[in-house]
Chains A and B, each alone.
Chain A
Amino acid sequence: ELKVEQNPLFLSMQEGKNYTIYCNYSTTSDRLYWYRQDPGKSLESLFVLLSNGAVKQEGRLMASLDTKARLSTLHITAAVHDLSATYFCAVLTSGTYKYIFGTGTRLKVLA
């Protein structure tokens, strides 16, 4: 069965710093998604990556996908406190409509 692993699971960083969250998945998939979840809230879609080499950017967040390495990264540039949240990646299992989510990365940006 497809497994999706994120690391780190917890990340505490200073404002203004850069960091990368990694999402590895275990079997073939051509679609990967990133979501944000604030405490006690539901999930908000950030990025949809549909092909190998896809790169998308929104503000201080940039996501990329390498389907050959089965790896996606979410890069944070010059972090600000408002980015504190839990970030999930999700992969669509090939041949199905089943989305598998990672365990999430809890990000805390310190002022």
Chain B
Amino acid sequence: GAGVSQTPSNKVTEKGKYVELRCDPISGHTALYWYRQSLGQGPEFLIYFQGTGAADDSGLPNDRFFAVRPEGSVSTLKIQRTERGDSAVYLCASSLTGARGAGQETQYFGPGTRLLVL
């Protein structure tokens, strides 16, 4: 079946601009995660959705970052006033249930969006 998809695959923007990154999770997956991965590093947790609500947004670095999942499926990560330090690969993952979900919590990752802020 279809996996997690993310668009765009690459995004180049200028410092100060606004960007939106989209994630389409696997159909039926209630949990959705956003991560940021810098070169040579492990993924860094940003936010976790259970259904439509953000159950844990403690990883968002500041108020320039915001994410929504209005209908409980597709999610959009929004970054305002981008800075060069925001350049990274943004990964989305989904799972059938959320964390501690009785063994159905395996995360399936999308291919990522590579963001470059000039």
Contact = CB atoms under 8 A, between A and B. Distances in A.
Interface residues of B, number: 28
B59 A43 contact: no
Interface on chain B toward A: helix, strand, loop, or mixed SS? loop
Nearest to A48: B106
A88 B41 CA distance: 10
B33 A99 contact: yes
B108 A104 contact: no
Contacts, number: 60
A90 B43 CA distance: 9
Contacts of B55: 97
Contacts of B103: 48, 50
A101 B107 contact: no
A107 to B, nearest CB: 14
B98 A97 contact: yes
B109 A43 contact: yes
A30 B59 CA distance: 20
A84 to B, nearest CB: 16
A42 interface: yes
B91 A100 contact: no
B111 A41 contact: yes
A98 interface: yes
A98 B59 contact: yes
Interface of A: 4, 31, 33, 41-45, 48, 50, 88, 90, 92, 96-104
